[in-house]
């Protein structure tokens, strides 16, 4: 008797940089679901980072409610990864964590080259200190000046120019990769943002360096987690939905009806104001 085909397993990709399609082919028996953020705000400082975390966890909770088998956070900053793992019964994979694990597995010194300016160094300090492989990164090299932050979301931004494959920009990025490798004594370049996925192969060809691209590495780790699950918390919090309710109240302007659990303790409690 013919057995029915197994239902496809779902990887929910939290689409932090607004890709129109996943950066890798989707394996047979797998379905990928792009999850958009309800609130987009570049984590240019630790202050905005909180909003990026809330928005990412909100998208992750929606994916879990829809039955995702793996949640993949497609950003080098791995926004909210520990918060989401605390409420997730399935693996949660982050691009930054996975890419740094690839550096560890390679076992050779690496340089990070990122299109973001030096004011966003805090993101890299956090990931390098928190993730396996961070000790092999010899330097973080910031390609853009601070004025790049004023161009975010415009056609003149470095992301838009990378997506267009502008030759002069690729030449400058290749020079930055070569210089980073020279200064750090490294032969491996780790792209410092998942938005750099479109230029990684060209930079490898132009420089002759080994280039690691976090968006593809992270998504492959998410696919792998379907068959070889990564660890999940022994105890998963039953408070899932709190962040979603906060975002509901924020986005919809209905703070009065936000369903947010409260505690008797008077310290560190969020209570919606009427």
Q: Is residue 257 domain-resident?
A: no
Domain count along the chain? 1
- State how far the Cα of 149 lies from the Cα of 159, in Å rounded to an integer: 11
> Is residue 73 in some structural domain?
yes
The residue segments making up the domain with residue 112 are 9-227
pLDDT at 235: 80
Residues 134-171: pLDDT tens digits?
Answer: 999 999 999 999 999 999 989 999 999 999 999 999 99
**Quick check: is 233 in a domain?**
no
Phi, psi of 238 (to 5 degrees): -95, 15
The DSSP 8-state label assigned to residue 224 in this structure reads H
What confidence score (pLDDT) does residue 232 get?
84
pLDDT at 31: 96
Question: pLDDT at residue 178 above 90?
Answer: yes
**Residue 237, in any domain of the structure:** no
User: Which of 45, 32, 18 minimizes the C-alpha distance to 226?
Assistant: 32
Measured CA to CA, the distance from residue 51 to residue 53 in angstroms comes to: 5
- Nearest CA among 123, 22, 34 for reference residue 79: 123
> What is the tally of helices (H) and strands (E) in the chain?
9, 8
CATH number (domain holding residue 219): 3.40.50.12500
265 in any annotated domain = no
Q: How many residues does the chain have?
A: 274
Query: How far is Cα of residue 176 from the mean position of the Cα atoms in its chain?
Result: 23
Mean pLDDT of 114-134: 97
- Is 180 within 8 Å of 139 (Cβ atoms)? yes
What pLDDT is attached to residue 5? Answer: 65
What is the pLDDT at residue 237?
A: 84
Instruction: Tell me, yes or no, whether 161 lies in a domain.
Output: yes
Q: Is residue 4 part of a domain?
A: no
- Specify the DSSP element, H or E, that contains 12: strand 9-14
Instruction: Report the DSSP beta bridge partners of residue 139.
Output: 111
Please tell me the predicted confidence (pLDDT) of residue 230.
78
Q: Is residue 171 part of a domain?
A: yes
Distance in angstroms (rounded) separating the CA atoms of residues 207 and 178: 6
Residue 272, number of CB atoms within 10 A of its CB: 15
pLDDT band of 4, cuts 50, 70, 90: low
- Cα separation, 159 vs 194, in Å, equals 10
Residue 263 has pLDDT above 60, yes or no: no
Q: What distance in Å separates the CA atoms of residue 215 and residue 220, rounded to the nearest whole number?
A: 9
Beta strands in 81-168 (DSSP E): 92-94, 110-114, 137-142
């Amino acid at each position: 008797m013919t057995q029915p085909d197994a239902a496809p397993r779902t990887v929910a990709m939290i689409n932090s940089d607004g890709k129109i399609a996943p950066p890798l082919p989707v394996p047979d028996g797998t379905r990928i679901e792009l999850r958009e953020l309800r609130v987009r705000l570049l984590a240019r400082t630790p202050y905005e980072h909180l909003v990026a975390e809330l928005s990412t966890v909100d998208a992750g909770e929606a994916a879990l409610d829809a039955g995702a088998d793996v949640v993949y956070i497609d950003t080098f900053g791995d926004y909210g990864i520990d918060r989401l793992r605390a409420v997730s019964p399935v693996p949660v994979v982050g691009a930054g964590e996975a890419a740094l694990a690839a550096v560890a597995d390679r076992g050779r010194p690496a340089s990070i080259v990122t299109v973001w300016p030096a004011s966003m160094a805090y993101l890299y300090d956090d990931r390098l200190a928190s993730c396996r492989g961070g000790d092999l990164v010899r330097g973080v090299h910031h390609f853009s000046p601070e004025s790049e932050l004023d161009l975010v979301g415009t056609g003149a931004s470095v992301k838009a120019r990378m997506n267009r494959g502008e030759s002069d920009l690729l030449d400058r990025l290749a020079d930055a990769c070569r210089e980073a490798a020279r200064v750090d004594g490294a032969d491996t370049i780790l792209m410092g943002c998942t938005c750099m996925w479109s230029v990684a192969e060209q930079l490898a060809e132009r420089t002759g360096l080994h280039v690691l691209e976090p968006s593809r590495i992270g998504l492959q780790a998410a696919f792998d987690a379907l068959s070889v699950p990564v660890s999940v918390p022994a105890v998963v919090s039953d408070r899932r939905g709190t962040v979603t309710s906060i975002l509901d109240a924020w986005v919809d302007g209905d703070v009065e009806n936000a369903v947010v659990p409260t505690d008797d303790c008077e310290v560190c409690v969020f209570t919606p104001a009427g």
